[in-house]
Amino acid sequence: MNTYISLLRGINVSGQKKIKMAELTSLYQSLNFENVSTYIQSGNVVFESSLDDKELKTTIETAIEQQFQFVVPVLMLTPTQLVNAAENQPFTTLDIEQEGSKIIFFFLSKTISVQQENSLQPYLTNSEQLVLGNGVIYLYCPNGLGKSKLTNKLIETKLKLTSTARNIKTVNKLLLLAKAKAKAK
């Protein structure tokens, strides 16, 4: 059994695509996934499975569509990918307690080029900072993500991929959940 983190794109936002975490946990358990844990209402699930990440993505997306009658893109991460994303975040001088909700990780469904990253630069305000990582774009938005022009939808449209955003506090909590599962083995 391997530990995985699935990030659901766009659920429970402004009353759209509502999924209760208890229902999501039950769904994952019905798919024979083990040690299922969810974190907050935005569709973060840490679990164990013997399937590979591509099979998992398809299985989860199909099951969600069948049960809830809407399409939800799913991004799959391994604990190693999540650790790498967290360890390589460039805003290391910022206080996570104070600024954590302003440090955003956009997890991407595919790798992008520096040229693609540069296409996003015109959407930044003077105070925002954008850095390309491996499978992730890091954004520091001191005025909050809600005031940024660089939205998840814009990233998906400009880069022609699937993306989902999580702040650094959520990423760190998911890391703790994944590490706890690894220790329990």
Give the other-Cβ count within 10 Å of 40's Cβ.
13
Q: What is the CATH number of the domain that holds 132?
A: 3.30.70
* Under 8 Å between Cβ of 107 and 75: yes
Average pLDDT over residues 2-24: 88
Residue 37 shares a structural domain with residue 14: yes
Residue 182 counted as domain residue: no
% of residues, the chain, pLDDT over 70: 98
Q: pLDDT tens across 25-66, in order?
A: 999 999 999 999 999 988 899 999 999 888 999 999 999 999
Q: List the domain range (segments joined by +) for residue 24.
A: 2-77
* Under 8 Å between Cβ of 53 and 4: yes
Residue 67 shares a structural domain with residue 90: no
Q: pLDDT tens across 81-117, in order?
A: 999 999 999 999 999 999 989 999 999 999 998 899 9
Distance CA 145, CA 139 (A): 9
Residue 68 shares a structural domain with residue 92: no
Q: What is the CATH number of the domain that holds 8?
A: 3.30.70.1280
Question: What burial class does residue 60 get, using C-beta atoms within 10 Å of its C-beta: 0-12 exposed, 13-18 middle, 19+ buried?
Answer: buried
Residue 183 counted as domain residue: no
Domain count, the chain: 2
Residue 162 shares a structural domain with residue 98: yes
Residue 65 shares a structural domain with residue 8: yes
Residue 96 shares a structural domain with residue 163: yes
Residue 54 shares a structural domain with residue 107: no
